[in-house]
Structure 1
Amino acid sequence: MADVNFDTRADKFARNIYDSSKGKLRQAVVMRELLEHALPKIPKGCSLLDAGGGQGQLSLQLAAMGHDITLCDLSANMLAIAKTNAEQSGVAERLTTLNLPIQALATEHQQQYPLVLCHAVMEWLEHPQQTILELIPRIAPGGMLSLMFFNYRGMEMHNLVCGNFDNLGHAMVHGKKKVKLAPKHGFDNQEIIHLLQQAGLVLERQVGVRVIHDYLRDKSMQENRLEELTQLELLYCDQPVFRDLGRYTHLLLKKPA
């Protein structure tokens, strides 16, 4: 498959992902991780790279904190929405956009950054592991990588608790995709951690994202009790067993100085 471009689905992506309880929980967990475990370890007000950052919801929050953001994405429409959101938030002067596939950063944008974000991108790439490894040179020595990816074990668990027993194993990855905005494949946590450790990065944090939300039997609670649910997600997301079954996995890794 080729890398997925969301140009024709930018508005739908905003409604169904960013503005939903799924997106709100995702941002809450990842922002907590950045605020408590990444930003204190990098210079205040430094420049950051959001690789494959789409509409830049999370990186624009970082811009509001005084960081200059370089937002790279394959979709011109997603970047246009990011620019509009930046103007409305008063941070347009802190946003630089690059309409490039993130693979092109290796040759067309060789600046290094104290923090590189790559969230929910791997699962849409033709060569995900290779592409993530090519991002490592963009991390400054002593800098951090914030990586989030669709979790294979979360896919399995979701199908099991939903009774989708015919959608496991080979069928789960290679079968007919029923939801256009749902990734077709996920990644094993330990395989990705090992890959990046072999490349020289040091794992500092691992959490699950949506460790409760998607498994609720009463789906109305996803919206009706979102505030309480968010607090529980933040409580359980870094605990063993729960973190391994999140629909997404978020890693913070450090590049040695």
Structure 2
Amino acid sequence: MTEEKKKKPDVLSRRKFIRNTGYTVGGLAVGGVLGSILSLGTAKKNKVETAQNFNQALMYFTPEQYRIVEAATERIYPKDDHGPGAKELGVAFFIDHQLAGDWGFNSREYMQAPFFKGEKVQGFQGRLKRRDIFDIAIRELNNHSQAVYKKDFIDLKGDEKDAILKDFEEDKVNITTISPSGFFNMLRSSTLEGVYSDPLYGGNKNMDGWKMRNYPGSKMAYASVIEKDFKKIKPQSLQNHMGK
């Protein structure tokens, strides 16, 4: 018997082991990836898997940071009779994705020394990147909440959260590394951007932000309707145009 033939039973037994392990684990790692490949059609054909929205996944924040930002943005843009708030619209995901990209790295901005305190009209002038500012501010937001109410920010009542955010807005929090009001303004701007941005970027879930404003979204052209009577147009995302 050749050396190659001697190896075949061992290879097959390993494959069988991996496949069976996938069933045992229940699809966490082996069952989810390798198990689906190696099972070779043994899964039940009538089982329908629900597709996940991978755009609603963290790219930068820790889960704790995400929850704090989600709670803060909901107070800035709360749910009311007109429609959903920042939480339902996925604004915290939008901010998370922006911090994970060029915006978070200030990659298109001049970031070299010397650094001087800028005028209010100039915005932030310093070495810290936006992701660094958010890291510090989120931690200090929770610290200030503990100092005032003896509770984490996410555990506060609505008016208590507002008071903490107001202290940041009015620079009543003693932070030496960043400007509290500068962070608040950045958070507020990012919240509004997340509400009305294209859903491709993580916020404005289901285009509900646009629907509240009757905004048609990312239309490629209006040639077919420009000369017709005004009518309400169903919004479209950039995702609708992919592959066309």
Indicate the structure with greater helix content.
Answer: 2
> Is the TM value for this pair above 0.5?
no
TM-score if structure 2 supplies the norm length? 0.26
Q: TM-score, normalised by structure 1?
A: 0.25
Q: Which has the larger radius of gyration?
A: 2
